[in-house]
Structure 1
Amino acid sequence: MTQDAQREHWQHTYEAHPAMYGAEPSDPALHAADVFAKAGARDVLELGAGHGRDALHFARRGFTVRATDFSPVGLGRIAEGAEAAGLGARVATQVVDAREPLPFGPSSTDAVFAHMLLCMDLSTRRIEELVTEVRRALRPGGTFVYTVRHTGDAHFGTGLSHGDDVYEHGGFAVHFFSRELVDRLAEGWTLQGVHAFEEGALPRRLWRVTMTAPAND
């Protein structure tokens, strides 16, 4: 699937189903907020913020949030929701495409959260580059929490294969993670934990990965 097709898919999804995931935060976001607070984080960068249920949760927990996505429609929903909830001063939005270098300076955030962003239609090489960019953007000792669908998921190995563990179903491509890839991405970090969980009606099978950057970067 092309980059433009992926963007069009999500633009249409956010327009047609603005509350498709509900208003409550995801379980990974609940976990991440607790981890970030314990670590003393003040600001959170969310990659692939969708329609904002997790970004708004972080803001309610007292963090300053930079919500990013490649869909201006989704980001517009987030801005509207933040204003309606009285959280406009805590939430900023920015169009960011994960296929391109992250437009953030070194040591510019305390924490990064990405719920299923890394398992989008991205090559292994781009995923590795993206994690390196996350580490660059984090302040020393900062925390990164991400979730990905893994190779134990029912859709892995089925549908249209794009190679590189990417499979497409219904026009939507997913990069399924092996545990070896998770461990490779954690090289140079402190891997705090890999938690298996399920989400949705299929159900989707995912890992929630928590890791911290070196304190002396």
Structure 2
Amino acid sequence: MADEKELAEVQRVHWQETYTAHPGMYGEQPSAPAVHAAGVFRAAGANDVLELGAGHGRDALFFAREGFRVRATDFSATGLDQLRDAARAQDVTERVTTVAHDVRNPLPLPDASVDAVFAHMLLCMALSTPEIHALVDEVRRVLRPGGVFVYTVRHTGDAHCGAGVAHGDDIYEHGGFAVHFFPRELVDALADGWRLDEVFAFEEGDLPRRLWRVTQTLPR
């Protein structure tokens, strides 16, 4: 457990320093998964969206521009500062709320308080398998019945899986970033008690990173 806490703190500091050195490092355009998720959320009649691991906010701000009310969380205060500045510049401040939060802790929201949850490559950060299960249990708690969860993760078919520093539990650190590479059975286990709507394989970036986009719905 001490090793897990130490790795988590190292990663938090790393992200703080990365966002400080590279403001808006992912650009202003939304990710392809966020664009897809907006359509899924709209079809489900969602109004309130929670984004986990929002970073400097390119996807959270996109959801706000699309008319959703967004709660954006991240454990990097630096990233959230950049998000709030961008929200003011884009005149969407009234639709965006930010909360500094580490997803290893319970989500700071009441039960059944949001319509949809989005997480782009947050679940595959340096989280242990039990921590990932606990986080998805929290997502289930804060979603309203019929709510939708869209998340993306790098999987075990990714070129960086097995490379770099091994931390156990399919977690490998490469270039300072630790990633938990998902086997398919973990995706299926996280969908237990949900309706698993889609597991879509795609690639992103220059390596390229290999990911799954997962959509699952909470029963009514």
> TM-score band (shorter)?
over 0.9
Q: Distance in 1 between matches of 2:106 and 2:7?
A: 18
Matched AA of 2:94: A
Which secondary structure state, in structure 2, belongs to the residue aligned with residue 156 of structure 1? Answer: coil
Give the share of equivalent positions with the same residue, in percent.
68
Which secondary structure state, in structure 1, belongs to the residue aligned with residue 117 of structure 2? Answer: strand
Instruction: Select 2:68's aligned residue among 46, 63, 81.
Output: 63
The answer as to 2:44 corresponding to 1:50 is: no
Task: Summarize deviations over 1:58-87 as a string: whole Å, max 9, x none.
Answer: 001100000100011100111110111010
- Give the corresponding residue for 1:25: 30
The answer as to 2:113 corresponding to 1:111 is: no
Which secondary structure state, in structure 1, belongs to the residue aligned with residue 106 of structure 2? Answer: coil
Question: How many angstroms does 1:19 deviate by?
Answer: 2.1
Q: Distance in 1 between matches of 2:60 and 2:23?
A: 15
Question: How many angstroms does 1:2 deviate by?
Answer: 2.1
- Give the corresponding residue for 1:132: 137
- Give the corresponding residue for 2:205: 200
Task: Summarize deviations over 1:7-29 as a string: whole Å, max 9, x none.
Answer: 11111111111121111000000
Question: How many angstroms does 1:144 deviate by?
Answer: 0.2
Question: How many angstroms does 1:193 deviate by?
Answer: 0.2
- Give the corresponding residue for 2:3: none
Conserved? CA contact 2:52–2:74, under 8 Å: yes
> Matches of residues 81-160 of structure 1 in structure 2 within 5 Å?
81-160=86-165
Matched AA of 2:125: M
Q: Distance in 1 between matches of 2:27 and 2:87?
A: 15
Question: How many angstroms does 1:170 deviate by?
Answer: 1.8
Normalised to the residue count of structure 2, the TM-score between the two structures is: 0.96
Normalised to the residue count of structure 1, the TM-score between the two structures is: 0.97
Q: Distance in 1 between matches of 2:9 and 2:201?
A: 32
Conserved? CA contact 2:24–2:82, under 8 Å: no
Q: Between Structure 1 and Structure 2, how many residues are aligned?
A: 215
Q: Distance in 2 between matches of 1:128 and 1:101?
A: 12
Q: Distance in 1 between matches of 2:79 and 2:52?
A: 12
Q: Distance in 1 between matches of 2:89 and 2:115?
A: 26
The answer as to 2:8 corresponding to 1:3 is: yes
Gaps of 5+ in 1: none
Conserved? CA contact 2:112–2:143, under 8 Å: yes
